Structure 1
Amino acid sequence: MSAAAAPMQGEFHLSDGDYETIARMAHAHAGIMLGTGKRQLVYSRLAKQVRRRGMADFADYVALLRNDADARREAIFALTTNHTKFFREDHHFTHFAEHVRPDLLARSERGTPVRLWSAACSSGEEPYTLAMTLLGEDRAGGGRIAQRDIAILATDLAPHVIATAKAGRYPADMARDIPDRFRRTWVKPVGDEIAMAPELQRVIAYKHLNLLESWPMRGRFDVIFCRNVMIYFDEPTKARLLERFAGLIPAGGYMYIGHSERLIGPAATMFDSVGHTIYRRRG
């Protein structure tokens, strides 16, 4: 952190020292790297917390963060970037539909369990997109597929976005990101919102999970999506996380990462690139 950075001026005073404390906390608890370029983002996200608690400035808030685990978790949730949309980076879902889905459906028809993981799922758009793509364009056929031993695990650090995802309701204008063939089948307009079909919700299990802590899952995943979250981590944290993902993907399984991310560390030798930010586990 540059000592030359000017204190943030605004409704509340954010000194260099307080900012550095917040940055260290974010890295220690969530692996988030906050350089000086993130100062305005930190101020805008956390000033709401300072105001809500009736505090005079960030010094009081940082003192609270040092001693209150619940307040620290709340700050991490506020700092977490949750921008997403349906069918984001749609080339991933095109690849999944054409090259991965047929084998998964054939295996599920034989009674073999199929498991997918949407890590850092945010408010649910990614796992719902994955479920639509997996179940297909026909409602009756998709309903039959949903009855098989198929499950999508969707996890995120922030409980409030998990709650949104579980509800499966979004502003109506978000429907524009869903291709017509899927929107007609799986999305129902409800007033000024859209609701995800029950079949989609049936195959998705939402759980709170910090990717940097222990994972309760013991089984393997045929496919893991972890997109646009590792950009906030330092290189050693990325390498460890990718190696852990690799350990849960069997030979022939797939991993999808964000458009500006790459495989590093031991995991880089465990996968073959089969498309832009799409990797298949060697074996």
Structure 2
Amino acid sequence: MRKRPTTIICALGAVLVLTTACGQARAGTALPKGDDAAAYVGGKFETAMNKLQDVIADQRDVTTSSDNYFRFDEKYAHSVITSARTGSPESRVVHNRSQKNPDDVLDTFTPADGALEYMYLGPVFKGAAPTSWVSMPKPEGGLTMKCAFAGILTACKMADAVALSYNADKKTVKGAKVGKDGKTELTADVSFDAFLTRPVEQLPPSIKNQITPELRKAVIPTKILLNPDGSLDQMVMEAKFEGGGHKVELRYDFRFTGKASAQDLPKLPDPAQITALPDKAAKDALFDKIAEARGN
């Protein structure tokens, strides 16, 4: 299994350590801020990083939601991605819904059994395949590459952007507090440059080429909310800023939303209603048609 990037390990390592330490804190009290927070968190990274794989793996039988909004001047993208992962061996489903066009729907279903995964194509993709459902070989590596799962991909990239900003400036970490509900809230200022580098949002060249060095220096306030048991509850990035004659607005809200079960998984149609894509070339051709239908 390929080793996870160190930057992601560091970011969620900070989360783990703060949770452990905050478990002894009185609800409603603040933990270190500013320079003290940076030193406190930074000193604990090395001991926490080896726990990251286990923390991700422990988030089993869960549902997630990721509300992703990005605006550059008058152009914007807004989607809500929900997912469920359940069972042992595990099955996964991801629902991708555009908030601009209700016909822009993509569902991906990866059952635990068999060598195939399935995709449902919404009305906007009519003609991309002979049928609304397609099948394709499961990705190489199966379900072992945790952050390759679209249900948690946004959270992984957000965490990576936090770590990238922290490694560039230890004062990125602003503070942490324990709420009356026992949840721990970690706050950080993430640079727009880190957001783009990871990238949390994959922007088309027509927009990326207009982003100035001034814009890249902008700060994105980020909140990481942890449950009393140390599991991740929510991660939010939200900002509005402008520079170089352009305006940017973004909000990325990832959260675990509940307990998943077999009822969250779809039922496949009759095999005659499923178009088989035999190999990677056929899959790539489909995604080219999907991008074309979206105007990308």
> Which one has the bigger helix percentage?
1
Higher relative contact order (CA 8 A, sep 6+): 2
Q: Which has the higher strand share?
A: 2
Fold in common (TM above 0.5) = no
TM-score normalised per structure 1: 0.28
